[in-house]
Chains A and B, each alone.
Chain A
Amino acid sequence: MDGPVNVESKLPDRPPNRPSNLTPQIPPIRLPPPIFSLRSRACWFALALAALVLASFWTLNLQWGQFLSLDAARSMGRFVAEFYPPDTSPAFLKKLALATIETLAMSALGTAMAAVAGLLLCLPASRLPGSSAAPGGQAERTGFRMPTRWLLNALRSIPELVWAALLLISAGLGPMAGTLALALHTTGVLGRLFAESVENAPPGPALALRTQGVGRFRVFLYATLPQVLPQLLSYTLYRWENNIRAAAVLGVVGAGGLGQLLSFHMGLFQMGKTAGVLAAMLFLVVLVDGLSHLSRRRLTR
């Protein structure tokens, strides 16, 4: 017998064919892509990224000279100095409190309307489990699914602020335009999330009801909805948190809340009052952040 001899099998104290699955499993190490080799995709990606960044700075014609000049620094300093002292007269504070409440109300009502609309729209946008009586649970395809998804995507892809600016024409200046804008954008977001969680719900209970001859709508109400309700609620609360932040600035185009006060006083160069509004905004955002962080930590513990 010539050729290499298997040394290991000749060792007496080792069992000959040791099964390989007893050797410790080392997870495969992913090496970083060879970024300096023109043959790798990562290299071309990095080059494209660098080109994009360079082209952006090149074409934007940013006025760095003006921004970094002594003049700009002085005007920035004057601007910040004017913020002091912030207006703390009781009348203005009352106005601020009202605007804060208005902001919170806009976000809450907008989110509530969006949750209801999203729930209604997620029905045609999802393949409902058990919507076909077939025992295999083959979900039925309806013609509404794609159009509804397109509608939800369209609602979602237009930001709240653009919706608010569009709605000003029919709803007029004021918080109603802002509320409707929040509701429209959030409907798109929540409808899509709701549709996904409805589609991913375990189909068992729905099929059980469906094979008993229960109608599709009642199958949704009594089998699918109770299963996904906690998730839908947590999505809604998360969007509400986002919407409070969005509602604070929506008013910049005239749609009510703290933002409207901000653009109003800033336009009149009343810097003391502007500082007050900014402080209220910051307070609201930090408060919402802190509360959500605390409640999340409490819930996950």
Chain B
Amino acid sequence: MNPALEARPAPDRDPAWAGRVFWWSLALVLLWPLAVATEFRPWVLVEPDNLKVTAKFVQSFFPPALGAEFLGLVAREAWRTVAIATAGMTLALLLAVPLTLLSTSALSVSALSGRMARAPFWFRQALRWLLILLRSVPELVWALVFVRVVGLGPTAGVLAIALTYGGMLGKVYGEILESGEAHPTQTLMRNGSGRLQALFYGLLPQNAAELTSYTVYRWECAIRSSVVLGFVGAGGLGQQLDNSMKMFNGGEVATILLVFMVLVALADTLSAGLRKALG
């Protein structure tokens, strides 16, 4: 019998352990400079003084603040958070839809016969760069800028979400429209339909479900980020959380965090349900 096929007893040890130990040690050695660069000293967390402060703060989480007045305030701020996200998304759509229609190559007439002509190509490219620029500035930075210009309050948050999400929506809408089946749209345009007709009867029916589903998903993300925007003074739950944290009021922090988690879970369920219904 071929000795290679003979049953051998299983090794009692991982035959590849030397290599594994080597790669893990290498990873640790590579992580070390990162730990130095981030001043990562976890033992600071368990120093007695520090531990006392932390324990006191965490202890003050219980019981959560449940006064009627405070709950009313939190409910109002929670609604404001949703409202900032919704208003921001509405403005973002107003920004994204025209930019998408102008920048998508799916509706190019000159591309029907070979390559897109040069002028429309560079026009579309410039709009695409604008979208990338809008998207690349984090919404928190937009909010910081707008807080300076329009003052503290929800206006800065709405504008920040509108600009960043406008960029994101515009870019992804363009990708969705271009990745679908181009045949119906091109046939319509080849037979002399206008671009808007081709959009409404060729491009949109095909991609509507995906576009809507992405929009709903982004609305959910906007709720999350509108909480974060509150930290720079753009109103909503985040601002309330920031205030309570600065006053070391653990009970209020706990309540707001719980409300926020419920809000995110609700938005999550709603958006998942809607996206499932869209198929």
**Structural contact, B141 and A253, CB atoms closer than 8 A:** no
Which of B132, B140, B257 meets A249, CB within 8 Å? B140
Q: Would you give the shortest CB distance from A48 to chain B, in whole angstroms?
A: 11
Q: Please state if A161 and B154 are interface contacts (CB–CB under 8 Å).
A: no
**Residues 249-276 of chain B: 1 if any A CB is under 8 Å from the residue's CB, otherwise 0?**
0000100010011001100000000000
8 Å CB interface, B14-56 against A:
31, 33-35, 37-42, 44-45, 50-51, 53-54
Distance (whole angstroms) from the CB of A294 to the closest CB of chain B: 14
For residue B263, which residue of chain A has the nearest CB?
A157
- A71 → chain B, closest Cβ, in Å? 10
A105 touches B37 (CB 8 A): yes
Taking the complex as formed, is B86 at the interface, i.e. its CB lies under 8 A from any CB of chain A?
yes
Quick check: B31 and A263 within 8 Å, CB to CB?
no
Quick one: closest B residue to A259, CB to CB?
A: B140
Knowing A32-B205, A72-B149, A169-B53 are in contact, say whether A158-B257 is a contact too (CB < 8 A). yes
Give bound CA distance, A159 to B33, whole Å: 27
Contact residues of A between 63 and 104, Cβ < 8 Å to B: 63-64, 66-67, 72, 75-76, 79, 101-102
CB of B51, distance to nearest CB on chain A (Å) = 8
Measured between beta carbons, the chain B residues less than 8 angstroms from A106 are 38
Distance to closest chain A CB from B17 (angstroms): 12
In the complex, chain A residues whose CB is within 8 Å of the CB of B148: 79, 266
A interface size (C-beta, 8 A): 59
Q: Which residue of A lies closest to B143 (CB)?
A: A252
Given A154-B261, A159-B227, answer yes or no on A176-B90 (Cβ-Cβ < 8 Å).
no
* Chain B residues in 8 Å Cβ range of A285: 136-138
Among B77-85, B98-106, B182-190, B191-199, the stretch in contact with A: B77-85
Distance A115 CA – B136 CA, assembled complex (angstroms): 26
Q: Is the CB–CB distance between A262 and B38 below 8 Å?
A: no
Instruction: Report whether over half of chain B's contact residues are helix, strand or loop; otherwise say mixed.
Output: helix
Q: In the complex, A263→B149 CA distance in Å? A: 15
B155 engages A179 (CB within 8 Å)? no
A75–B146 alpha-carbon span in the complex (Å): 11
Q: Tell me the chain A residues, 283-301 only, with Cβ under 8 Å from chain B.
A: 285-286, 289
Q: Which among A60, A66, A169, A252 has the greatest number of chain B C-beta atoms within 10 A? A: A60
Whether the pair B37, A66 counts as a contact (CB closer than 8 A) is no
Q: Which A206-243 residues sit within 8 Å CB-CB of chain B?
A: none
A120 at the interface (CB under 8 A from B): no
With known contacts A109-B31, A169-B54, A67–B150 Cβ distance under 8 A: yes
CB 8 Å contact bits of A155-176 with B (1 = contact, 0 = none) = 0011101100110011110111
- Contact of A256 with B38 in the complex, beta carbons under 8 Å: yes
Interface residues of B in 148-190 (CB under 8 A from A): 148-151, 153-155, 158-159
Judge whether A26 is part of the interface by a CB distance below 8 angstroms: no
- A55 an interface residue at 8 Å Cβ cutoff? yes
A59 near B: Cβ within 8 Å?
Answer: yes
Measured between beta carbons, the chain B residues less than 8 angstroms from A169 are 53-54, 57, 245, 248
Q: How far is the CB of A30 from chain B (nearest CB, A)?
A: 8
* B272, chain A: closest CB distance, angstroms: 13
Among A79, A179, A256, point to the contact of B149 (Cβ < 8 A): A79
How far, in angstroms, from A109 to B35 measured CA to CA in the complex? 7
List the A side residues contacting B44 at CB < 8 Å: 171-172, 176
Does B96 lie at the interface of the complex (its beta carbon under 8 Å from any beta carbon of A)?
A: no
- Closest Cβ neighbor of B89 among chain A residues: A53
Q: How far is the CA of A153 from the CA of B45 in the complex (A)?
A: 24
Q: A278 CA to B142 CA in the complex, in Å?
A: 11
What's the nearest-Cβ distance from chain A to residue B101, in Å?
Answer: 19
Give min CB distance, B252 to chain A, whole Å: 13
Q: Are B136 and A252 in contact (CB under 8 A)?
A: no
Q: Assuming A170-B51, A175-B38, what are 11 further A-B pairs, CB within 8 angstroms?
A: A59-B79, A157-B261, A158-B257, A162-B257, A169-B245, A170-B50, A172-B44, A174-B39, A175-B37, A176-B44, A256-B38
**Partner-A contacts on B (CB < 8 A):** 31, 33-35, 37-42, 44-45, 50-51, 53-54, 57, 79-80, 82-84, 86-87, 90, 132-133, 136-138, 140-141, 144-145, 148-151, 153-155, 158-159, 205, 208, 224-225, 227-228, 231-232, 238, 241-242, 245, 248, 253, 257, 260-261, 264-265
Which residues of chain A have a CB within 8 Å of any CB of chain B?
Answer: 32, 52-53, 55-57, 59-64, 66-67, 72, 75-76, 79, 101-102, 105-106, 108-109, 112, 153-154, 157-159, 161-162, 165-166, 169-172, 174-176, 178-179, 245, 248-249, 252-253, 256, 259, 262-263, 266, 278, 281-282, 285-286, 289
Identify the 9 closest CB pairs spanning chains A and B, nearest first.
A56-B83, A105-B37, A170-B54, A56-B86, A175-B38, A105-B34, A249-B140, A109-B34, A56-B87
